[in-house]
């Protein structure tokens, strides 16, 4: 059985939100270096927010954000 959290309707909740990704950018980027790799985002999430996800999960979420125009 999965340990993933479910919402009130029983659907799995996302392990990584758009806000989590954006917070990593807030903490790690500068005007001189405004971009991060998926690995850098993964590391920032673990270091600053205790969010443990894979680089693959970050890449998937970034793709979803791009598709949504975020």
Domain map (residue ranges) of the chain: 18-67
Which residues lie below 8 Å from residue 18, measured CB to CB, with a gap of 6+?
A: 61, 65, 70
* CA gap 12, 8 in Å, rounded: 10
Q: What is the DSSP secondary structure assignment for residue 16, as one 8-state letter?
A: S
pTM of the model: 0.78
> 15-61, pLDDT tens digit by residue?
899 999 999 999 999 999 999 999 999 999 999 999 999 999 999 99
Task: Assess contact for 39 and 46: CB atoms under 8 A.
Answer: no
Neighbour count for residue 1 (Cβ, 10 Å):
3
> 12-21, pLDDT tens digit by residue?
556 899 999 9
């Amino acid at each position: 059985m999965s340990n993933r959290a479910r919402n009130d309707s029983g659907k799995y909740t996302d392990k990584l939100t758009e806000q989590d990704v954006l917070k990593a950018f807030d903490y790690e980027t500068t005007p001189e270096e405004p971009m991060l790799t998926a690995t850098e985002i993964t590391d920032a999430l673990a270091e600053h927010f205790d969010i443990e996800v894979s680089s693959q999960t970050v890449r998937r979420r970034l793709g979803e954000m791009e598709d949504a125009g975020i």
